[in-house]
Chains A and B, each alone.
Chain A
Amino acid sequence: MSTRLPTGGRFIDRSKPLNFRFNGRKFKGFEGDTVASALMANDQKVVGRSFKYHRPRGIVASGPEEPNALFTIGKDGEREPNQVGTITELAEGLEVKSQNHWPTLETDIGSMANLGSNLIPAGFYYKTFMAPRQAWKHLFEPAIRQSAGLGQPPNQNDVDHYEHFYLHTDILVVGGGMAGLLATRLLAETGLRILLLEQSPNFGGRLVQDHAEFGEGASQDWVDSTLLELFSSKNVTMRSRTSVSGIYDHGFVIADERFPNTSGKSGYLKRRLWKIRTKRIVLATGAIERPLCFAGNDLPGVRLASGVRDYLINYGVSPGDRTAIITNNDDAYRTAIALAEVGLSVPLILDTRMEIRGTLPTRAKNLGLRIEPARGIGEVLGKKTVSGLEMCSQVGEGTSLEKIGCESIAVSGGWSPTVHLWSHCNGKLKWDETKVMFVPDWKHPPIDSHGKQNIFPVGSANGYLQLHEIPSQVEQIVRQVAREFDKDLPEIQLPHTREITEDRCHGTWLIPYSMKPKKKMKAWVDYQNDVKVSDIDLAVLEGFESIEHSKRYTTLGMATDQGKTSNVNGIALVSHNLGIPMDKVGTTTFRPPYSPIPLGAIAGSAGKELFKPTRKTPIDAWHVSQNAHWEPVSDWRRPYCYLLEGESVENAVNRETLRVRTTVGMLDATTLGKILVKGKDAAKFLDLIYTNAISTLKPSRCRYGLMCDENGFLMDDGVVARLDETTFLCHTTTGGADHIHGWLEDWLQCEWWDWRVYTANITDQYVQIGVAGPDARNVLDKLGGMDLGEEALPFMSWKKGILGGHEVQVYRISFSGELSFEISVRASEGLELWEKIHEAGQEFSIEPYGTEALHVLRAEKGFIMIGDETDGTIIPQDLGLDWAISKKKDDFLGKRGQQRSYLTDPDRWKLVGLEVLDNDEPLPHGVYAQCETKNEFDHPKMEGRVTSTYYSPILKRPIAMGLVERGTERMGEVIKFNCGNKMIKAKIVSHIAYNTD
């Protein structure tokens, strides 16, 4: 029975009880509890099922290294899977659910795999399920999916929100334990900007629970007074609950700040992702305790000794009345002493070492605790939870010497510095044989862009576990950091800490040393991935000797905890198996994130309506009022059509198309790109940019032009208007505006940098209104102010004037074949002019039309559309646009490209019209025409494809354009399009379907 003690628990507030539910059952906890501590206080031993074997699993640790206690927190739109219970703070009404069990946590069918855990050894998936082939899809995969995996992904929209925060700082201190606090305090005096981040809600690290006495006075007092000092330092920013998850090149750091839901309301700020730029990093991330490998070490009730101590001191939780200790170092004795001091029973301390002399064991002995040197655990007793253990000789094979009854076993296999962040940017590690740990290798540190070390580990992260070593070590390193900024540390009285002699940890990797193979199948190395000692043996035996290989073969150190507790033990077992030193085995590569970050935090505020900016024209609200059916066109939204009440999209498009053909329609063409090109060399420049001649264009005239890339492929098209001798306005496609502006600047800045040309993208400055149809002029004449007659403004010309009281430029250009004007007016007056035109047009039944009607109108006339007729592999010649390619110009971008043999091949597919033989069967978009002959791969040869296909309401039949091999030479021929379930026949005709004159 684990339970809450009557007193104690420095993090909890007993005056503030909280109610929560675990798998639907009501539980109680206190403010300050984590989900894990509250579950332990409620005697919830089994908290989840293991990944492969579905074995019952209990809480092992007290920090982010926890491999087992993963929960789904919250319900509906708040649901978050795979939350680590040891760092999730308890809140009123919290819904906690265990994961990976079926049907229930208590009775899991998957745990039948227990019948022989040798059923799923290392490499199981690679060796099994190879045949029969069909069985994989229908039998194996569904079965594996049912039993494998952790939490279920949420199935509703997230109701909470997230954000990012960018901060530039001089020094980032990671970790607010003793070393981090001391480093920050020393650095604070330099005036440099310091950011101190602590992953847990409380500063102080392990200091208080491990060392209540701190030289003169209590260690809690030292923590409090240090915090108070830092709090008043203007140059220091401190954040708790903020976990640094990754360090990247150039001092870029990602940290994840968690907010407990104190209000209980949904829709609160859940996480803030910090994006930090720092010059130097002080790493005070502490160390993580390792478990030990013995038979039955995964039974709920077996916990890390430090975790047991944390629950006892920080949360006032007893791990059980009787706790046996197994250790290979002195630190675990702290747990024994702490338990004994609150009056709990410690029946036995098993120490794998022969000689035990340290201060802490002596103190334990003085408390009357039984210490057994050179002893280990033969096997843990108990079915679902620990009920006792069998003591054995450490150097033997595991013969039971004595059975001891206990509900809890506290394990310590030594400590591993938390070096993950050091390693993210390629800091190397070295094995310290005396300390029995991987420590940062200062000879191969992570470096900045100047090749200088930029991460500086201090305290236990640097391998210094003894309290008395820390102050001087921190000071020395921090002084070095300060010097890099030309700062010196002031003389500060370092805290005087009490010296406690701790004996060496012993590298014990197997308990007992000659563990029998059957026991190895019950001795876990990695709890989260169900990797046992036997799996590592097998992997090595099968030749997976490199640690990177054996990791992947066994899945050691994978998944959410990334082997925080298991990596070093796994490496040691490989080393033990191969008989080579730890250094030679090496380590796997630590990569970000250190702890998982929710996808919501990565997205930040870019979710829901802010997922992507939507560009809107000044007429947008009017479109909304007219029931626009939207279409995204690059970043803009444009009306696809306007729906009358009860009208279908199809009917609306037909109505709008016919309106333009019969009377008049109006179009919001604001989104089309407008790029100003000005300068003495502007004409020369545009002659190279466009395929046709622009320099010959007269002021007040317009010309349709094509732009190709260097390879000759058609990239963009539009109308160029010459405003004056040296100024041109180049219209681009909506999606091409930014790209073409960049393209022009690229050539001007990198190639023709001495040419006298300036450009500007002035798209947003103007609203552009298209008025098209037989009555277009009549409508504009009603507005008055400008002569727009055939003589005053002939086709392909433009003029300035006052129209309806607005200063405008009117372009006489057409994309529909109808009489058409495009009126450009400053954006702030756009809506007003739009409404005036709409009103003036009522007499002619004017209607707004959307992008789809625009497409139908242009397709009826055989006009091409960038992105429909082109796809980056099409040259203007393919589209019959040879007339827009100057033969006279010496050069233009793409000219040379178009001369390559592949592009001059007479067999190239050419643009033609396609007329279906049966009007009830329109051609689908993008379908391919198939020949009777086969190609070199023995597939049917393709001879063309559909690029545009619409229903033409004026012709009352489907129309289509397509690219067909030698198409223009094959007028009248019938070809067949493969439309999946049927072939549709179409005749090759002129690409101009309507009004071919």
Chain B
Amino acid sequence: MAKATVGSTPKLNLLDDVGMILFRGDLKSKTLQDAIVEVTGVKVPVRGKISTEDQTSIAWMSPDELLLFVPLERVGELIEDLNHKMGEEDTLIWDISDLRSVFEIEGNFIREVLAKNTPIDLNKDKMRKGTFRRTRFGQIAVAFWFESETKWFMICRRSEAEYAQQLFEVSSKPGEIPSVF
């Protein structure tokens, strides 16, 4: 009585040209919010969200941490500008472009493949566009967000990327994906 599970299965591709900046600070501070908008052109996202403008996305990591996705070649310049704009205010801004691996997931049944390995609520009304969800994928820490139903992103520690790829592969075998979402 399982609904059909035919159709192409999603693929995982490693993106190696994503610049990433770690930004810790008081997210409620006006200086910080202004600095972020002025330097990146993107607003500070609210809890659990990711905001995107053009080639820059900013993800909410924790009550005092943001993760900036920027063009790789602009990382140094942006960090300098951000540090400058933050002035005397407490902050930790660091180039972490190599800290995590960024994956692009493309295809159908992405929610189903993820649901095999992550305990979060992946129903369409909960995991929506603009949601940035930190959780786990199998046994490793990851975060997910998506651009469209057929194009998602996932980040994990660089040293755990191979595990993520292997787990994704065994979880996306054709004919073994229940159509649920």
Contact = CB atoms under 8 A, between A and B. Distances in A.
A828 B139 CA distance: 24
Interface stretch (A143-151, A421-429, A493-501, A609-617): A609-617
B98 A765 contact: yes
- Chain B interface category by residue count: 35 or more
Interface string B73-91: 0000000000000000011
- Of the candidates A203, A613, A615, A762, the one having the most CB atoms from chain B within 10 angstroms of its own CB is A613
Interface stretch (A450-458, A676-684, A705-713, A928-936): A676-684
A193 B173 CA distance: 27
Interface string B1-42: 111000000000000100000101100000000000000000
B159 A616 contact: yes
A678 B120 CA distance: 33
A227 B98 contact: no
B181 to A, nearest CB: 9
A758 B64 contact: yes
Nearest to B126: A168
A66 interface: no
A854 B178 CA distance: 50
Contacts, number: 118
Given A239-B1, A272-B178, A762 B90 contact: no
Contacts of A610: 138, 163, 166-167, 170
B128 interface: no
Contact of B92 (A609, A615, A758, A826): A758
Given A165-B116, A277-B121, A758-B24, A615 B159 contact: yes
Contact of B123 (A168, A613, A826): A168
B115 A605 contact: no
B92 A764 contact: no
B94 A613 contact: no
B180 interface: yes
Contacts of A238: 1
Interface in B119-145: 119-123, 126, 138-140
A163 interface: yes
B100 A198 contact: no
Contacts of A275: 119
Interface residues of A, number: 47
A676 B159 contact: no
B92 A167 contact: no
Interface in A665-715: 676, 678-680
Given A239-B178, A765-B98, A163 B159 contact: no
Nearest to B162: A616
A21 to B, nearest CB: 27
A166 interface: yes
Question: Do most interface residues of chain B lie in helix, strand or loop, or is the interface mixed?
Answer: loop
Contact of A167 (B117, B162, B180): B180
Contacts of A239: 1-2, 178
A172 to B, nearest CB: 13
Contact of A680 (B22, B90, B120): B90
A161 B162 CA distance: 20
A20 interface: no
A759 B64 CA distance: 11
B51 interface: no
Contact of B115 (A167, A227, A606, A765): A167
A613 B178 contact: no
B159 to A, nearest CB: 4
A765 B96 CA distance: 6
- Of the candidates A198, A606, A760, the one having the most CB atoms from chain B within 10 angstroms of its own CB is A760
A679 B171 CA distance: 43
Contacts of A102: none
26 contacts: A161-B170, A167-B180, A231-B1, A239-B1, A239-B178, A269-B173, A277-B121, A605-B116, A605-B167, A605-B170, A610-B163, A610-B166, A613-B138, A613-B140, A615-B159, A616-B162, A676-B94, A678-B92, A679-B92, A758-B91, A758-B92, A760-B92, A764-B157, A765-B94, A827-B99, A828-B97
Given A238-B1, A613-B139, A613-B160, 19 more contacts: A164-B116, A165-B115, A166-B122, A193-B123, A240-B2, A269-B173, A272-B178, A606-B139, A610-B163, A612-B139, A616-B159, A678-B92, A759-B92, A760-B22, A760-B96, A762-B22, A764-B98, A764-B157, A826-B98
User: Which A-B residue pairs are the 7 nearest by beta carbons?
Assistant: A758-B92, A615-B159, A827-B98, A613-B163, A168-B121, A765-B99, A758-B24
